[in-house]
A and B are shown apart, each in its own frame.
Chain A
Amino acid sequence: MNEETNKKLKQQAMVSEKVRKIVVYFLLILWAVLVLFPFYWMILTSVKTYGSYNSEYVPKFFTLSPTMQNYVTAFTAVPLAKYFFNTFIFTVLTTLLMMVVVILSAFAFARLDFKGKDIVFSLFLSLMMIPNELVIITNYVTITNLDLRNTFLGLILPSVTSVFYIYLLKENFEQIPEELYKAAKVDGTSDFRYLWKVMLPISRPTIVTITILKVIECWNSYVWPRLITDDQNYFLVSNGIQEIRENGFGRENVPAMMAAVVVISVPLVVLFLIFRHKIMAGVARGGTKG
């Protein structure tokens, strides 16, 4: 009798465990579908022909005759390649410049002794609280007055410093044992040689993290480029896509629009799939969004 109830209880527990598992997987799959569907839809729409897309009152979930024509249109009807190239230049230059600025400051705060170090560092940290929206107004006026609108310099300059990344890197630099620095000093190594040969290689993971985060930020930046450029020759992809949306391909050509969207999304998605673990670890450590 007792044994039987036990068996029954066990069976019940197993069934409820199974039900729970099914519910869990169902919800997880549901969210995965919600995340993936827009991506599927943009790829699907981008390979439908203009005619077939507009003739489907109820859109089809697949297509039997995919076409590459929309990609050709996306590159020829609007200067998509130009937007792409601009964004690439902007991203590379901003990230490079920022790395130099950030590394030098972090090095000064972590390894060099100078008067007023603590005060300067606290001042730096207090700047972290200032939202971008507050300073962007004056920056817009500054860049306009310097006649730097519609130039790469105007696009790049305001975003080459980040107090947060200085802070992150400084913390990392400080974990490198002081003895290494002293030993290098005894050997007559200069400060900068030490920074280049010892500190940077040791801190590589953090530097990679910062670089990746900055690249993502640059690739997706929209607000500042929109304020500072009205010449299509200097548009970044975000502004380009907005331009395509508003003035388009002369007519409402959704498949070509989607082709442009796919082209713009691909680089970062590929970057993400390659460095997936690094990026996720990096964002967990130092990313903010939302």
Chain B
Amino acid sequence: MKKNLTAWLCLLPAIAFLGVFMVYPLVDVLIYSFEEGYNFASQTFWGTGLYNYSYVLHDPYFIQALKNTFIIVIITVPLSTGIALLISLELSSIKALRDFFQTVYFLPYVTNTLAVGLVFMILFKKTAYSDGLVSLLIQLFGGPSVDFIDGPYWAKMFVMCFYTIWIVMPFKILILTSALASVNPMFYKAAEVDATPKWRIFYKITLPMISPMVFYLVITGFIGAFKAYSDEVALFGTDLNAAGMNTIVGYVYDMLYGNSGGYPSYASAAALILFAIVFTITTINLMVSRKTVYYQ
């Protein structure tokens, strides 16, 4: 009896915090999303139904956010995973300077996204004083002068994806290099005896052995990219709708707070739509993995 009491006392803080800030909000967000015309100041609403969802799905800003988010996901997830795999393979094939490279590659992980985003903005932005370093480099090779921050959509999307990849790379490289290091060297020795060509070793040994980790990165990569937000703020400022670069999460926060804020119902509906999308994609990923991933 006394033991029961100690245990529950130990769990009390966690249960209290999780209850107030996780479980209750989960129920609450569902309720909000069905309350039509909810007024934040008076905390009243005039009906229940699916109006919030239909409003959000017909809001051009949301459609834009949805489009941006999907483009970011489709471009950055495969590219970053692919490049990370390439770099990790190279990294594990060398001895000299390996520790140095690993340290350097990890640096973006510990930096403040907002702060470094500002540096990227400076590098890409066109001002009255200068076209920006990147644009000048492009001009050096005979290209046009492009403003990547306030310019055409594709240019903004390019910086966006580039910065996202820059940010997520450290984690992927780290996970893949440790996965590669844990492959049993016996397999490689056996392949060497049989004089197996390099690409075959990669396809038949390395890739299957690290496939669980690659797959883990793909899943977390999808989830992370769908939740993209602070990287966008870092590059384009807080008014993402004006820049045309809003994301779904950005739309949720804009609905909640700021100049266009004060609509927790719309925010809830948008957040639940996002959750449904992420949930569906993750389920599909899991189904695909069951067929392709090799578990020892």
Contact = CB atoms under 8 A, between A and B. Distances in A.
A4 to B, nearest CB: 22
Interface string B113-155: 1111011111100010111010010000000000000000000
Interface in A250-290: 252, 254, 257-258, 260-261, 264-265, 268-269, 271-273, 276, 279-280, 283-284, 287-290
A241 interface: yes
B203 interface: no
B129 A290 contact: no
A51 to B, nearest CB: 11
Interface residues of B, number: 93
Interface in A1-47: 21, 24-25, 27-28, 31-32, 34-36, 38-39, 41-42, 45
A242 interface: yes
A290 B4 contact: no
B224 interface: yes
Contact of A35 (B13, B22, B104, B264): B104
B26 A56 contact: no
Given A32-B104, A289-B168, A130 B26 contact: yes
B interface secondary structure, majority: helix
Nearest to A29: B101
| Best-surrounded residue of B8, B25, B113 (most CB of chain A within 10 A) | B25
22 contacts: A21-B94, A28-B87, A34-B166, A39-B119, A104-B11, A105-B11, A113-B7, A114-B8, A135-B22, A136-B252, A138-B24, A216-B109, A223-B229, A238-B115, A242-B238, A264-B112, A264-B115, A269-B110, A276-B103, A288-B220, A289-B224, A290-B80
Given A35-B104, A284-B174, 12 more contacts: A38-B116, A53-B129, A114-B4, A139-B21, A222-B114, A238-B112, A241-B114, A257-B122, A287-B109, A288-B224, A290-B169, A290-B220
Interface of B: 3-4, 6-8, 10-11, 13-15, 17-18, 20-26, 28-29, 32, 80, 83, 86-87, 90-91, 93-94, 97, 101-116, 118-123, 127, 129-131, 133, 136, 164, 166-169, 171-172, 174-175, 178, 220-221, 223-225, 227, 229-230, 233, 237-238, 249, 252-253, 256-257, 264, 267-268, 271-272, 274-275, 278
